[in-house]
Structure 1
Amino acid sequence: MDLAYLLAGNAVSRKFTDLSAQTVDATVDSLIDSLACALAGTNAPGMPEARRAMSRFGSEGPTVWGGFGHAPAPVAAFLNAGSMHALDYDDTDDKVPLHANSVVLPALLADVEDSRPDCDGQEFLTALAVGLDGAMRVGRAGGPKGSRGWNYSVISGCMGAVLAIGRLRRWDTETTVHALGHQLAQTAGSLQSIIDGSLAKRFQPAMMSKNVLMSAALAQEGIDGPLNVFEGRAGFINLYQDGKFNIESMHLGLEGCSLVDDLSLKPYSACRFTHAPIDLALQLHERGLRHRDIKHIRIRVSGQAVNMVGRRFDHTSAGVVDAQFSIAYTVAVGIERGAPRIGDFTEETIRDPQVGKFAAEHITIEANDSVPFLGMVPVYFEVELNNGQRLELGTEQVSGSPELRMTPTQFRDKVVDCLTYNASRVQADELISVVRNLKTGAPVSSVLKLMA
């Protein structure tokens, strides 16, 4: 049988008691993180326009987060996913990389309101863990094909979202496989939006969240989808992975959704490939060094980091997405201002000529052939100061990763940053407390009330 049967059968049979305490906590923390990011992003560039564009499709159905009323489930999922991903502050799986929650969570919460409004917290967390684990499992087994231009947040994220909804709706294996098949039939995701610095980038997970609910609706009514979802001649493995896929790895830890434990929560509102360079920039900042002290920085990173975030930064023409995907800009910010915050990525702040000139004229970014092509680390800095002194810095860890988690204080500070940036009426401790109560079976409606 196709791999889809393994994934679907596992998804629909999972129970809350199958999850370890560590996996439950990781799921809860990622949920808090994602909802905070979404509330921060509701008024980000492109979001007001997206709400106007979607308003023609109706105003009844699940919640549009942030106080923007209601919409049909696919539209609500689309808008909520867009706000969650808009600031590039949402979680990642560093091994692929992909943003698992960006597709899974908005589709799942819209479906809760639409199909299971009485859902309790443990049921919901089980479905969410199934979806996140599924997205990460599919992504890791294939490995990213960024060189071909696939966006893995959406390619594998949508498969995880289908699995989550299959668990939430208590489907059987066959129905879930058909839904996976429908999703295969409409999955796409190009990295060109990143290359061009387009706002379309923040709506790619949103498109898949919407499509997942369409796939679920078709499967629910008994319309068959392709069954050879992964291993068929034009299935996921051949289409997206050039026939290369580690099927054996799909089994390890599957019943406990253990990959959720590996999710990284981002301390900076920028592409994950900028985080290790930012960490080193902050070391320079903590030493008291500023732009005026530095003649040149040579930064050596992986080949994929150069592709994704290594282009020259021009503050006179760059857009917000360009800044989010720029090592040069984020490092220049880190040295001069300290840890980049959401407010460092607005149309106004990215025009700062001091930061822009330093990013363009004093930073060189090169591929390091000794680093794995897709690696986020190691990263090396060679710094030449104006006084003639030379410094060498390096790191083999990335802040926010399982090896270097944010402390509880740093995590709360991030939630505060998100909620205060967009003047949310929700308080940080309130959001954290309400979400954590899901572990003991509190109703999901308590979370949705805050998001509304």
Structure 2
Amino acid sequence: MSCDKGLSDRLSAFVADCRFDDLPPATVRSARWVLLDALGVMLGASGMAGEVAPFVRVAAGDGPCRILGMGMSATAPMAALANGAMAHALDYEDALDGAPIHPNASLVPTLLALAQAEGGVDGRRFLTALVVGCDVGCRMAMALRQRMEVGGWYPPPILAGFGAVAGAASLLGLSERQVRDAFSLMLCQNVMPGEIKHSQGTVIRAVREGFPAQAAVLSALLAREGVAGFEEPLEGKGGFYALYAGGRYDTGDLLDGLGQGFWIEALTFKRWPSCRGTHAMIEMARAMQVAPQDIARIEVGVDAIQTMLCEPLARKQAPATAIDAKFSIPFTLALALVRGDVGLDDFDAASLADPAVLAMAAKVAPHVLEDADWHGAGGHLTLHLHDARSISAQQEDALGCPARPLGQEALVAKFIDGAARAKVPPADPQGLALAILSLENCPDVGALL
């Protein structure tokens, strides 16, 4: 553990001081891609994910902000709640391989709500806030030296929430002291219990990002109004790392290169709408091109992170909800083997009850490879055939990571597909995509949407 009394202050100063002119061109390009990808996923969820409907009903009302893809308005905190619920509902948003965080699923809804509530937020200001928030969330995740699950927590939305409040503080132009106050206020609100993984019938795991997005908006606005926080919200004896990681963290991962290198350039964009830990299995299955009827049994080798995608095995072989199916290696692998691919339309009620898919999932036997170090982004797959042959493959970095990127053309196509699935689709999705890809020239991001 490193104990640096200036940790909260130094991170707060970075948030308060970072400007668009400090960002390298590659960082700005990555930020544009993040926004494009996130908006397409959220729009798609507005028309496809029934889990978000209660959030929309509760959030809708008079206000300056839009609930994406719904044709409804709301106040900033409530818009962040509804749009945040959409951000992860399809499990199709970006991720940081090697860390327990989807850094932008809370951040983008937070920034959209505040940009519309404030008015006149230009593209340079918006992109800077996006970069800053993503960087803080990723750094806080990378600095962990004890898994948050040890204390019974579910880390992705907790960590992303702190990135979201950092981005909110940047967008609102808060001072260093106010940023620290915003971190403190976020600490008072942002929790997510590990029970989210263990309860079979809940869909909270799908809509989880709505809660930190709403809390981030409230925290930043309250800090701007002068609500004082703690001196050490991150490193204090009752601060973030003490509460969530037993005080075990590395200051170097938080502060080294701060303001010089940005984690937004290291993100993975998803090719398939399921947990990142399933992607290597899907990719290998598609490449093998084996007839489903020829498969007798299936062995999958996973790392420690991916065990949550295989346990309890009977539940993962026959998931009851779409979100549980998306967090299942047996089910998503079976989809790939039976249907040839895994898409947005493969998690409806009919798919969850498909006899061919369920029969294939029942053939999957996982085992942990103790020396695997692919951090949930890889896997080993062996198909044993009825004729006694076997086919094996190993993939350590599934498609979509920085080393094997999707590229801008694929991200635009993904956005267009998501926009077309919205309950109320945008009038000109191609034009909107082009505007996002030159967002630094936009005079008012809130009005653009």
Query: Given residue 179 of structure 1, which amino acid in structure 2 is its aligned partner?
Result: A
With over 3 angstroms needed to count, the CA separation of the structure-2 counterparts of 1:417 and 1:334, relative to structure 1, is farther
Aligned to 1:262: 266
Give the Å deviation of 1:234: 0.9
1:322 match = 324
- The one-letter code sitting in structure 2 at the alignment partner of 1:193 is I
Distance 1:12 1:330, change over 3 A: same
Aligned length: 440
Higher RCO (C-alpha 8 Å, min separation 6): 2
Whether 1:28 aligns to 2:29 is: no
Distance 1:94 1:447 in 2: 31
**Partner Cα distance (1:235, 1:308) in 2:** 31
> 1:64 — aligned with what?
67
Q: For 1:237, which of 234, 241, 250 is the aligned residue?
A: 241
In the alignment, the residues of structure 1 paired with residue 412 and residue 165 of structure 2 have an alpha-carbon distance, to the nearest angstrom, of: 31
Shift in alpha-carbon separation, 1:35–1:309, aligned structure 2, 3 A: farther
Q: Which residue of 2 aligns with 1:196?
A: 199
Where does residue 128 of structure 1 map in the other structure?
130
The residue correspondences of 1:285-324 to structure 2 (distance < 5 A) are 285=289, 289-312=290-313, 318-324=320-326
Q: Structure 1, residues 163-213: CA drift from partner, whole Å, max 9, x if none?
A: 112211111100110111111112211232233242111232111111112
Find 2:112's aligned residue among 91, 109, 114: 109
Judged with a 3 Å threshold, the aligned counterparts in structure 2 of structure 1 residues 91 and 141 are, in CA distance, closer, same or farther, namely same
Instruction: Name the amino acid aligned to 2:120.
Output: D
1:412 aligns with 2:412: yes
Measured after TM superposition, the shift of residue 148 of structure 1 is: 3.8
Question: d(CA) in 1 for partners of 2:306 and 2:42?
Answer: 26
Q: What's the offset of the Cα at 1:423?
A: 6.2
Structure 1-normalised TM-score?
A: 0.92
- Displacement of 1:317 after TM fit? 5.9
1:331 corresponds in structure 2 to: 333
2:318, 2:331 within 8 Å by CA — same for their partners in 1?
A: no
Deviation at 1:20, TM superposition (A): 0.8
How far apart are residue 326 of structure 1 and its match?
0.6
1:302-344 Cα shifts (integer Å, max 9, x gaps):
1220124444355766111111111011111111222211101
* Aligned-partner Cα distance in 2 for 1:316–1:260: 36
Query: Residue by residue, what CA displacement relative to the aligned partner does 1:237-288 show, whole Å, maximum 9, x if unpaired?
Result: 1111111111012223321451110111111100111111111111123xxx
Task: Report whether the alignment pairs 1:47 with 2:52.
Answer: yes
SS where residue 365 of structure 1 aligns?
A: strand
- Name the aligned partner's letter for residue 260 of structure 1: I
Q: Shift of residue 74 of structure 1? A: 0.7
Deviation at 1:106, TM superposition (A): 0.7
* Contact in 2 for aligned 1:274/1:327 (Cα 8 Å): yes
Compared CA separation, residues 308 and 295, structure 1 to 2 (3 A): closer
Equivalences for 1:29-428 in 2 at 5 Å? 29-43=33-47, 44-55=49-60, 58-115=61-118, 117-142=119-144, 144-197=147-200, 198-256=202-260, 258-285=262-289, 289-312=290-313, 318-360=320-362, 362-372=363-373, 375-422=375-422, 425-426=425-426, 427-428=428-429
Which SS does the other structure have where 1:102 is aligned? Answer: coil
Contact 2:122 2:440 in 1 (8 A): no
On the 8 A contact 2:37/2:93 being kept in 1, the answer is yes
Secondary structure of 1:174's counterpart equals helix
Q: One-letter code of the match for 2:175?
A: D
C-alpha separation between the residues in 1 aligned to 2:387 and 2:256? 54
What SS does the corresponding residue of 2:50 show, helix, strand or coil?
coil
CA contact (8 A) 1:32 1:431 kept: no
Alpha-carbon distance in structure 2 between the residues aligned to 1:342 and 1:439: 31
The one-letter code sitting in structure 2 at the alignment partner of 1:103 is: S
1:130–1:329: structure 2 CA closer, same or farther, 3 Å change rule?
same
Residues 186, 211 of structure 1: 8 Å contact kept: yes
Whole-Å separation in 2 of the counterparts to 1:126 and 1:32: 15
Conserved in 2, the CA contact under 8 Å of 1:41 and 1:87? yes
Look up the equivalent residue of 1:416 and give its one-letter code.
Answer: I
Task: Name the structure 2 match of 1:432.
Answer: 433
Which amino acid in 1 is paired with 2:397? Answer: Q
SS of the equivalent of 2:209 reads helix
Once structures 1 and 2 are overlaid, which stretch shifts more, 214-223 or 228-237?
214-223
Distance 2:260 2:167 in 1: 14
Confirm or deny: 8 A CA contact 1:88 1:270 kept in the other structure: yes
Task: Give the secondary-structure state (helix, strand or coil) at the position aligned to 1:46.
Answer: helix
Amino acid corresponding to residue 365 of structure 2 in structure 1: T
Secondary structure of the residue aligned to 1:97 is coil
Q: Which moved more, 1:293-302 or 1:376-385?
A: 376-385
SS in 2 for 1:100: coil
Judge conservation of contact 2:151–2:244 (CA < 8 Å) in 1.
Answer: no
1:126-159 deviation line (CA, Å, top 9, x unaligned)? 1111001111111111154234442222222111
- The separation in 1 between residues aligned to 2:69 and 2:358, in whole angstroms, is 33
Deviations 1:403-434 (A, max 9, x none): 11113443233223323334653354223201
1: CA distance, partners of 2:172 / 2:165? 11
SS at 1:89 equivalent: coil
Q: SS in structure 1 opposite 2:229?
A: coil
Supply the RMSD in Å over aligned alpha carbons: 1.9
Amino acid at match of 2:382: E
Query: Percent of pairs identical after alignment?
Result: 26
Measured against aligned partners, the alpha-carbon deviations of 1:32-72 in whole angstroms (never above 9, x if no partner) come to 000000000013122122222334xx322311111331111
Give 1:50's aligned amino acid: F
Say which SS state the counterpart of residue 104 (structure 2) adopts. Answer: helix
Distance in 1 (alpha carbons) for counterparts of 2:324 and 2:266:
28
**Aligned-pair CA distance for 1:440:** 3.0
For 1:18, the equivalent position in structure 2 comes to 22
Instruction: Give the Cα–Cα distance (whole angstroms) in 1 for the partners of residues 378 and 418 of structure 2.
Output: 29
CA contact (8 A) 2:33 2:411 kept: no
The letter of the residue matching 1:134 is: V
Which residue is 2:10 aligned to?
A: 6
